[in-house]
């Protein structure tokens, strides 16, 4: 079958150089692959190697072994159809580095109590919906103005805005789908220019958090449902979707789409996602789709 391996290193590091591509090409040939061509998407940063191989999984294992410890990310896929028309992104620890409910809890002096529940959930040890109910209940009585103060803390992970802008410019629809709160996702949607955001709503009574979140909770299955809903609206196939996330509640969505990327993911995501970004940033998701750096915007 015809495959393309995309190697991506940090922009400044020049880890992806001609000698690396040569040595990987030799390794692929030694294992029976028939090489076609190499194509530099960004000199010294990202390169495609096109080849024919018997099987994708053993080739992927081979590349994983060869690249272990190098600080280089890679993707392996058939070249046809790798540019996607829908981006669905998780927000917390994916588009932004923060976990907003943890930040809120820290300020209320209940950080540890809440972080224990968050981490259990992200590792897949506790159902996401129940963990969110438990955490929000602990925040009962917090003044609404605390949310506004926290908004200023939010920052974008490197390349997040470039990923959204570039895919949009090339005709894709972009959605932020989060198990967090609409109060924060709406701001990141505006900052990053996502077409829409879907998340959970914190219920507020007389200016204070009621300790309740609106039901049904947007969790693992709801992220997949949101993705399915978007594909139906856009009349596109799931194979035409790039989804990106870091936690257990992203797994159903990541597994269902054509390009499900684990972004600096929790161990359960590292084990399961077909595509990974572990060393570089969101721009790797563009290289994986075959975009050249001069097409980024
Ligand atoms: Mg997340």
Q: Using alpha carbons, select from 213, 229, 130, 214 the residue that is nearest to residue 177.
A: 229
For residue 184, the CA-to-ligand 1 centroid distance in Å is: 13
For residue 55, the CA-to-ligand 1 centroid distance in Å is: 32
For residue 92, the CA-to-ligand 1 centroid distance in Å is: 4
Rounded to whole angstroms, the Cα distance separating 93 from 249 reads 12
The 10s digit of each residue's pLDDT in 89-101 is 999 999 999 999 9
For residue 95, the CA-to-ligand 1 centroid distance in Å is: 8
For residue 112, the CA-to-ligand 1 centroid distance in Å is: 18
Helix (H, G, I), strand (E, B) or coil at 217: coil
For residue 30, the CA-to-ligand 1 centroid distance in Å is: 40
Kind plus residue range of the DSSP H or E element containing 162: helix 160-169
For residue 91, the CA-to-ligand 1 centroid distance in Å is: 6
For residue 249, the CA-to-ligand 1 centroid distance in Å is: 8
Rounded to whole angstroms, the Cα distance separating 282 from 160 reads 5
pLDDT of residue 115: 82
Domain spans of the chain?
Answer: 1-80
For residue 49, the CA-to-ligand 1 centroid distance in Å is: 31
pLDDT of residue 121: 78
pLDDT of residue 14: 82
Three-state secondary structure of 73-97: EEEEECCCCCCCCEEEECCECCCEC
Rounded to whole angstroms, the Cα distance separating 25 from 125 reads 41
**Contact assessment for residue 178 and residue 199, using Cβ atoms and an 8 Å cutoff:** yes
**Contact assessment for residue 40 and residue 18, using Cβ atoms and an 8 Å cutoff:** no
For residue 89, the CA-to-ligand 1 centroid distance in Å is: 9
For residue 252, the CA-to-ligand 1 centroid distance in Å is: 13
For residue 150, the CA-to-ligand 1 centroid distance in Å is: 17
Assigned architecture for domain 1-80: 2-Layer Sandwich (3.30)
pLDDT of residue 221: 85
For residue 96, the CA-to-ligand 1 centroid distance in Å is: 9
Listed in sequence order, the residues at least 6 apart from 266 whose beta carbon sits closer than 8 Å to its beta carbon are 122, 123, 124, 246, 247, 248
Q: Using alpha carbons, select from 49, 219, 35 the residue that is nearest to residue 126.
A: 219
Q: What is the pTM of this model?
A: 0.95
Kind plus residue range of the DSSP H or E element containing 244: strand 241-245
The alpha-helical segments, DSSP class H, found in 2-99 are 18-30, 56-67
Rounded to whole angstroms, the Cα distance separating 237 from 278 reads 27
Per-residue burial over 29-63, b = 16 or more CB atoms within 10 Å of its CB, e = otherwise: eeeebeeeebeebbebbbbbbebebeeeeebbebb
pLDDT of residue 151: 93
* One pLDDT digit (tens) per residue for the chain, 297 residues: 999 999 999 988 789 999 999 999 999 999 999 999 999 999 999 999 999 999 999 999 999 999 999 999 999 999 999 999 999 999 999 999 999 998 999 999 999 999 889 788 777 788 889 999 999 999 999 999 999 999 999 999 999 999 999 999 999 999 999 999 999 999 999 999 999 999 999 999 999 999 999 999 988 788 999 999 999 999 999 999 999 999 988 999 999 999 999 999 999 999 999 999 999 999 999 999 999 999 999
pLDDT of residue 110: 93
For residue 133, the CA-to-ligand 1 centroid distance in Å is: 17
For residue 222, the CA-to-ligand 1 centroid distance in Å is: 14
């Amino acid at each position: 079958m015809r495959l393309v391996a995309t190697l991506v290193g940090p922009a400044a590091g020049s880890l992806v150089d001609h000698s690396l591509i040569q040595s990987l090409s030799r390794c692929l040939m030694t294992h029976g692959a028939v090489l076609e061509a190499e194509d530099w998407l960004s000199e010294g940063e990202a390169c495609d190697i096109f080849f024919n191989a018997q099987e994708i999984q053993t080739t992927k294992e081979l590349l994983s072994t060869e690249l272990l410890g190098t600080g280089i990310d890679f993707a392996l896929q058939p070249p046809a159809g790798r540019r996607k028309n829908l981006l669905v992104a998780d927000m917390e620890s994916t588009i932004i580095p923060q976990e907003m409910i943890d930040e809120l809890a820290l300020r209320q002096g209940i950080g540890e109590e809440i972080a224990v529940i968050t981490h259990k959930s992200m590792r897949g040890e506790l159902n996401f919906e129940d963990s969110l109910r438990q955490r929000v209940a602990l925040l009962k009585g917090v003044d609404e103005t605390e949310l506004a103060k926290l908004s200023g803390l939010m920052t974008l992970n490197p390349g997040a805005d470039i990923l959204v802008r570039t895919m949009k410019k090339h005709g894709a629809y972009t959605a932020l789908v989060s198990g967090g709160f609409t109060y924060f996702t709406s701001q990141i949607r505006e900052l990053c220019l996502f077409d829409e955001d879907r998340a959970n709503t914190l219920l507020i009574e007389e200016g204070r958090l009621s300790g309740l979140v609106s039901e049904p909770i947007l969790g693992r299955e709801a992220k997949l449902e949101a993705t399915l809903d978007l594909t139906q609206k856009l009349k596109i196939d799931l194979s035409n979707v790039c989804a990106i996330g870091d936690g257990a509640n992203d797994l159903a969505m990541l597994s269902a789409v054509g390009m499900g990327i684990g972004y600096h993911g929790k161990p359960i995501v590292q084990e399961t996602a077909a595509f990974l970004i572990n060393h570089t940033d969101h721009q790797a998701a563009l290289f994986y789709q075959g975009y050249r750096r001069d097409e980024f915007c």
